[in-house]
Amino acid sequence: MKTDMLQRLTGLTLMLSICAAGDAATMPKEGGFDFNFCLAGRTSAMPAAGDTVAGSFDLTAGIWSNTPNGAFDGLGSRCVGIWSVVDGAYMDSGYCVTTDSDGDRFLMDFKTGPVRGEQQSTGKWVARGGSGKYAGMIAQAEYKVVQRSVPATEGGFQSCNRNTGTYKLK
């Protein structure tokens, strides 16, 4: 019984993810986008002195457009990066490889901060290269944290960032 239910749930999840990501192939050649980048990952830290600390992170994310059938809807990302808190200011930077249902990919180069105190966390990213339909793509965006969640694991983090920007495919 449990195995049958698990197989059905796995099949349904696979079907929904394929359907959601299927529109990536019919994306217009250029335009704007507005999507949520919902992520979860793990971090490590290297305390230095007082409040000065640095570390690294590895995360995965799903992209959900805020407009019906919007650009990049249903794509998945894996990101790696570094972060620091120096003189009370948080900063991070790194790279994400974002993949669509066809297996085409592009690289995002991102930077957050500096962010102080209760200030809202914001950043920017640009596309740096890609394969398939994303080869030669020009894209840039700004993002801000719109929702943080309690981490599911120790040393983990979860949040959603709203990304708005423009892209142009070759």
All domains in the chain, ordered by first residue: 2-168 (2.40.350.10)
pTM for this one? 0.82
Which of 41, 30, 34, 72 is CA-nearest to residue 169? 30
Extract the tokens encoding 48: 């230095």
| pLDDT tens by residue, the chain, 170 residues | 434 433 433 343 333 343 344 444 578 999 999 999 999 999 999 999 989 999 999 999 999 999 999 999 999 999 999 999 999 999 999 999 999 999 999 999 999 999 998 888 899 999 999 999 999 999 999 999 998 888 888 889 999 999 999 999 99
